[in-house]
Structure 1
Amino acid sequence: MKRMSALLFLVLTQCISSTEKKASKDTDFSNSVSKIDTNADVTEIKIKEDTKVYNIDSIDVKPEFEKGIKKLHKFIRQNYRYPEEELQVKGIVDVNFIVEKDGYLSNIIVVKDADFGTGNEAIRILKKCPRWTPGTLNKKPVRVRYYLTIPINTNDEQTP
């Protein structure tokens, strides 16, 4: 009987001890769960997006103004405002910009200017420009750097 009570005491001690360990593990787990911020703002999670700007020669399909380059030159010609002064302005304005995945233009930079505000006017027109068809790589739209030369001649009505 003494053996039986000693054995029973030993078994109960083991059971109580393992229950306490399990409870402490559960408590530790619940403590670590409570440390997770469940109120995190979902907008803070950002999906990695391809924001690389491709060179026009490294893509499959080049971006283009809807209806072609001749329509782009017509758009520029119709919207270009020459300086107020009676100046004889001749030259070219070289610009580059990014045709975004959605067809809009961004990061418009004047590389060469014919002075008298011609570069600023080129930027104004390109910001006003309708959407382009974006360039593609592997059948997916990508951001593409585009280079454009705009001829300026206040004497000639056929500019660009």
Structure 2
Amino acid sequence: MRMKKTLMLILILIGFTQCNFFTETKASKEEKTEQNIVKENNFEESITEANISDSDNEVQIKEDTTIYAIDSIDVKPDFEGGIQKFQKYIKNNFFYPEEDEHVKGMLEVNFVVEKDGNLSNIKVIKDIGHGTGNEAIRVLKKAPKWIPATNNHRLVRTLYYLSIPVDNHQEQNL
């Protein structure tokens, strides 16, 4: 469905360009090298602007790559099954350091939930050492897709903060 809409938009833009090509004078074509044809926020999630070059009859579609703060969007991203299920995923996949000392604390990470639900730009904000930050990054890179955020009925990229409790003695007692 999205592909059909995109192809339809491209065909309309090409037809519009060719119509203008035959009706404009040579001087007006040279003055106008690019014109903004469409800017619609709710037409398609990934299309925000299309530009056309009269000299090349080339259509360029620009994607919205803005990363939105979680409090500035309509519908927040979520893990399928909820955040408790995501925390369970982390707990089941997080490997603790094999050191004898007790590693306990709170890791803080942030990442971008992409429009397709994948996680990217994973960064450790607060690390407790002993390789726990690298382990958190490893686990998040392998995480299942999320349900992406929406704003104005469009899928958007969103920055998400997460705290991960770490206690390697708790793991051994299970």
- Could you tell me the TM-score, scaled by structure 2's length? 0.64
1:77-130 deviation per Cα after TM superposition (whole angstroms, max 9, x unaligned): 100000022220011110000000000000000000010000000000000000
CA distance in 2 between partners of 1:37 and 1:81 (Å): 55
**1:88 maps to what in 2?**
102
**1:113 maps to what in 2?**
127
The structure 1 segments of at least 4 consecutive aligned residues displaced by more than 3 Å after TM superposition are: none
- 1 or 2, which has the higher strand percentage? 2
Alignment partner of 2:146 out of 127, 132, 146: 132
1:43-90 deviation per Cα after TM superposition (whole angstroms, max 9, x unaligned): xx6411110000000000000111001100110010000002222001
Query: What's the % identity of the aligned pairs?
Result: 59
Alignment partner of 2:75 out of 49, 61, 82: 61
Question: Which has the larger Rg?
Answer: 1
Structure 2, unpaired ranges of 5+: 1-25, 27-54
Following superposition of structure 1 onto structure 2, how do residues 1-160 of structure 1 map, counting pairs within 5 Å? Answer: 46-157=60-171
1:116/1:46 CA distance change after superposition, 3 Å: farther
**2:6 maps to what in 1?**
none
Shift of 1:37: 6.8
**Structure with more contact order per residue of length (Cα contacts < 8 Å, sep ≥ 6):** 1
CA distance in 1 between partners of 2:140 and 2:56 (Å): 46
* Matched length: 120
How big is the alpha-carbon RMSD for the aligned residues of Structure 1 and Structure 2? Answer: 2.0
- Could you tell me the TM-score, scaled by structure 1's length? 0.70
- 1 or 2, which has the higher helix percentage? 1
1:37/1:46 CA distance change after superposition, 3 Å: closer
Structure 1, unpaired ranges of 5+: 1-27, 29-35
